[in-house]
DNA sequence: GCGATCTTCTACACCGATGTAGTACACCGA
DNA sequence: TCGGTGTACTACATCGGTGTAGAAGATCGC
């Protein structure tokens, strides 16, 4: 079942069928309907591999994320797929597992030419990997700003968002804010940026930065958040607030605090980052920063589509609008 | 950068390069290393579209799920991607939004020959759509058993799993078990199967089925679970247990119950289905049925790979092992 | 009335792999 | 010694579309 069959049935050349399918303008209405009727009658579907081989286009974009099982990335992927759909594009998802080697592999081999462009949400890459980003494939980075990279970014406003959360805690009178999920030694990742913003917010208010209250967690899962919270409690250090560098960490913390009978927010106020759906439904509901997932997905896809269409103007850096959602984990129940 | 370039550099024919890359056995070790060296030196990557055009294989399988933002499907996709990876396959995800038309579209047009096979998790399809399943592409259905369909299935053991949950509640002395998430009128979907199993479990214990305690929810989100729970509470009906037909519904219910000051499990025991990660970390943690996600993903991919390799034996129906995880939402805190 | 331009369509080579067929040599048994 | 089999490789057509070039008729300006 090929284009030739359709052409034969419609009594035109294969190229005319191709032209009809691709919206070439100079076609008589009569011819167009004949061709469309033939396509319909035969149930013809174009072989995208063949088209891609000749023309480059596949209509597929890649989305590389660390882990789909993390709600943030699941929800992001959902949005990206819907945004891509509006451009008639399909999304191929690649899981990197936040592993640097796998992240580089994705870059080096964008699925054997099967994707026209790449949306890329790196976790493990650093300044030293910038060279790898000078890809042949159009690419838009999501989430993180890798310092001084010559690539398009659609960024979470990590700094302003984190500061808003910290200032919210400070405004509630909290002074000893523990942090979950830092990555010691890391310079450019999300962890470093958010922790840096936390420190800045404290400093701006004339407060010292209590480094002993920063607890590492490599992967940002509920389980690692719970473990870090247990280490925090075991340390015996006093704290009256807890900032999870993302929501799953904070939710893991909520669990442990509840188990230990520590009241939230009375004893400890808790805040997170991401505003995943779960944050509205936990008990207590979680105060968090909405990074504008929908906007990020939409803008990133739009930008990528422009790049794929050949736009080679200077690279852009777009920051999405964040929004602080103050909920029970800091405000209490009304 | 094509195979011809590699061939020239290695001093062999393009076909020999192809043979090396595809593991053809009759190649001298010396030749193989020459070719591999050339591939490495040039950073060559095969054009999958070209290969697909000639050979059919793309190394891509499709995964059609309702919504990635639902934790169950995010976690399932994660597992499928990892299982596919072990076979050297990439996964292309299609979101159907549980919309019947979109589900049929996916079937009718498996991405323009771009996928070698399809894993398919239908929600909206029914008995009347069976004809559409007689696809040309190898396909394995996930999760649901569409009645009398001639297609491979890797099933959640919905009936046994749900019964286990209900029996657990009964064993705790609960007798008025409300159900969230039923789909009135539906005959073959997950909702119907799980609700049917619930009813059977009650009947088997000589108990009547309290139909007034079945509350509908079209989509199985936290928000719809919360709404259904509010309707349940507004009804004034007495109940001492609550079964969410999946975890997100149950988690939405937990939220509303907590807000209303209804104690779980003292006043109402709550159970769900899916064992998403979140169920271990909610407060209280959620009793739920683990449908064996990892096993489902692995078996489904294995089966699909066999079908893609040409195995045309009779269609199989594999049920994964479920496991009941009894947690605080039914047992209380120890 | 004639070249120029626009509209509509077609012929054909070609994208980059691979299946098929076939060559050439080595080795083996009778 | 010769046919048969196994090993190692190559030439070439081909998969199904699309870019390019160009043909043929219609329309237009002057």
Q: What is the pLDDT along chain B (334 residues), one digit of tens a residue?
A: 899 999 999 999 999 999 999 999 999 999 999 999 999 999 898 898 899 899 888 888 999 999 999 999 999 999 999 999 888 888 888 888 877 777 777 776 655 578 888 998 887 676 677 777 766 788 899 877 666 678 889 989 999 999 999 999 999 999 999 999 999 988 778 899 999 999 999 999 999 999 999 999 999 999 999 999 999 999 999 999 999 999 999 999 999 999 999 999 999 999 999 999 999 999 999 999 999 999 999 999 999 999 888 788 888 889 899 999 999 999 998 7
Nearest CA in chain B to A253: B281
Nearest CA in chain A to B226: A281
- SS3 at position A56: coil
Chain B residues closer than 8 Å to A229 by CB:
none
Residue A111 has pLDDT above 80, yes or no: no
Residue nearest to nucleotide D12 (CA to C1'): B15
CA A214 to chain centre: 24
Average pLDDT over residues A20-24: 92
CA neighbor of A78 nearest in space, from B57, B317, B98, B309: B98
Task: Tell me which of A95-104, A199-208, A319-328, B310-319 is least confident.
Answer: A95-104
How far, in Å, is the CA of A28 from the C1' of nucleotide D23?
17
Q: Which pLDDT score, from 0 to 100, does residue A126 have?
A: 67
Cβ separation B75–A68 shorter than 8 A:
yes
What is chain A's mean pLDDT, rounded? 91
Q: Which pLDDT score, from 0 to 100, does residue B1 have?
A: 85
H or E element, residue B35:
helix B29-42
Of B43, B47, B283, which is closest to A112 when you measure between CB atoms?
B47
Q: Which pLDDT score, from 0 to 100, does residue B111 have?
A: 58
Residue nearest to nucleotide D9 (CA to C1'): B16
Q: How many residues does chain B have?
A: 334
Q: Which pLDDT score, from 0 to 100, does residue B328 have?
A: 97
Partner A, chain B 66-85, Cβ-Cβ below 8 Å: 67-71, 73-75, 77-78, 81-82
Q: Which pLDDT score, from 0 to 100, does residue A56 have?
A: 80
Q: How many residues does chain A have?
A: 334
Q: Which pLDDT score, from 0 to 100, does residue A109 have?
A: 61
Q: Distance between CA atoms of B61 and B80, rounded to whole angstroms?
A: 10
Cβ neighbours for A226, distance < 8 A, ≥ 6 positions apart? A252, A253, A255, A256, B281
Report yes or no: A225 and A253 within 8 Å, Cβ to Cβ. Answer: yes
How far, in Å, is the CA of A3 from the C1' of nucleotide D11?
29
Cβ neighbours for A165, distance < 8 A, ≥ 6 positions apart? A243, A271, A273, A287, A288, A289, A324
Q: Which pLDDT score, from 0 to 100, does residue B109 have?
A: 61
Report yes or no: B221 and B252 within 8 Å, Cβ to Cβ. Answer: yes
How far, in Å, is the CA of B25 from the C1' of nucleotide C30?
30
Report yes or no: B119 and B299 within 8 Å, Cβ to Cβ. Answer: no
Cis bond upstream, residue A189 (ω within 30): no
Buried b (16+ CB within 10 A) or exposed e, A131-165: eebeeebbbbbbbbbbeebebbbbbbbbbebbbbb
CA count, 13 A, side-chain hemisphere, B119: 33
Residue A112 has pLDDT above 70, yes or no: no
Tokens of A109: 């081999």
Alpha-helical regions (H) of A172-246: 190-204, 222-235
Q: Distance between CA atoms of A17 and A24, rounded to whole angstroms?
A: 10
Residue A108 has pLDDT above 70, yes or no: no
Cross-strand partners of B118: B62, B139
Average pLDDT over residues A277-290: 96
Query: pLDDT: is A113 or A274 the higher one?
Result: A274
Residue A110 has pLDDT above 60, yes or no: no
Residue A133 has pLDDT above 90, yes or no: no
Q: Which pLDDT score, from 0 to 100, does residue A113 have?
A: 72
Q: Which pLDDT score, from 0 to 100, does residue B35 have?
A: 95
Q: Which pLDDT score, from 0 to 100, does residue B321 have?
A: 94
Average pLDDT over residues A193-216: 97
Q: Which of B42, B53, B102, B112 to mutate to test the interface with A (most CBs of A within 10 A)?
A: B112
Cβ neighbours for B109, distance < 8 A, ≥ 6 positions apart? A45
Q: Which pLDDT score, from 0 to 100, does residue B263 have?
A: 96
Q: Which pLDDT score, from 0 to 100, does residue A123 have?
A: 77
Cβ separation B222–A53 shorter than 8 A:
no
- Tally: H helices and E strands in chain A: 13, 12
Q: Which of A69, A83, A255 to mutate to test the interface with B (most CBs of B within 10 A)?
A: A69
Q: Which pLDDT score, from 0 to 100, does residue B96 have?
A: 86
H or E element, residue A325:
strand A323-325
How far, in Å, is the CA of A4 from the C1' of nucleotide C12?
14
pLDDT tens readout for residues B241-299: 999 999 999 999 999 999 999 999 999 999 999 999 999 999 999 999 999 999 999 99
Name the percent of chain A lying above pLDDT 70.
95
Q: Does the beta carbon of B227 lie under 8 angstroms from any beta carbon of chain A?
A: no
Query: pLDDT: is A46 or A326 the higher one?
Result: A326
Cβ neighbours for A51, distance < 8 A, ≥ 6 positions apart? A57, A58
Q: Which pLDDT score, from 0 to 100, does residue B108 have?
A: 67
Report yes or no: B201 and B275 within 8 Å, Cβ to Cβ. Answer: no
Chain B residues closer than 8 Å to A244 by CB:
none
């Amino acid at each position: 079942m090929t284009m030739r069959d359709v052409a034969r049935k419609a009594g035109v050349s294969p190229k005319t069928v191709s032209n009809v399918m691709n919206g070439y303008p100079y076609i008589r209405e009569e011819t167009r309907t004949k061709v469309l009727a033939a396509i319909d009658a035969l149930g013809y579907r174009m072989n995208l591999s063949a088209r891609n081989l000749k023309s480059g286009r596949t209509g597929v974009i890649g989305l590389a994320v660390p882990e789909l099982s993390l709600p943030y990335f699941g929800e992001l992927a959902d949005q990206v797929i819907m945004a891509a759909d509006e451009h008639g594009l399909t999304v191929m998802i690649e899981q990197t597992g936040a592993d640097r080697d796998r992240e580089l592999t994705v870059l080096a081999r964008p699925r054997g030419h099967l994707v026209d462009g790449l949306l890329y949400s790196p976790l493990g890459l650093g300044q030293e990997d910038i060279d790898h980003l000078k890809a042949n494939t159009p690419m838009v980075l999501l989430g993180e700003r890798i310092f001084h990279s010559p690539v398009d970014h659609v960024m979470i406003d990590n700094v302003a968002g984190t500061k808003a959360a910290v200032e919210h805690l400070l405004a509630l009178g909290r002074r000893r804010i523990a942090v979950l999920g830092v990555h010691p030694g890391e310079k450019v990742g999300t962890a470093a940026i958010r922790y840096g913003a936390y420190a800045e917010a404290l400093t701006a208010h004339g407060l010292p930065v209590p480094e002993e209250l920063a607890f590492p967690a490599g992967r940002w899962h509920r389980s690692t958040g719970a473990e870090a919270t247990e280490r925090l409690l075991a340390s015996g250090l006093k704290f009256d607030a807890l900032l999870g560098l993302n929501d799953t960490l904070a939710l893991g913390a909520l669990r442990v605090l509840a188990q230990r009978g520590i009241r939230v927010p009375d004893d400890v106020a808790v805040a997170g980052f991401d505003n995943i759906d779960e944050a509205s439904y936990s008990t207590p509901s979680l105060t968090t920063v909405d990074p504008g997932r929908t906007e990020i997905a939409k803008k990133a896809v739009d930008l990528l589509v422009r790049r794929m269409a050949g736009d080679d103007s200077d690279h852009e850096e777009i920051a999405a609008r964040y929004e602080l959602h103050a909920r029970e984990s800091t405000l209490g129940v009304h």
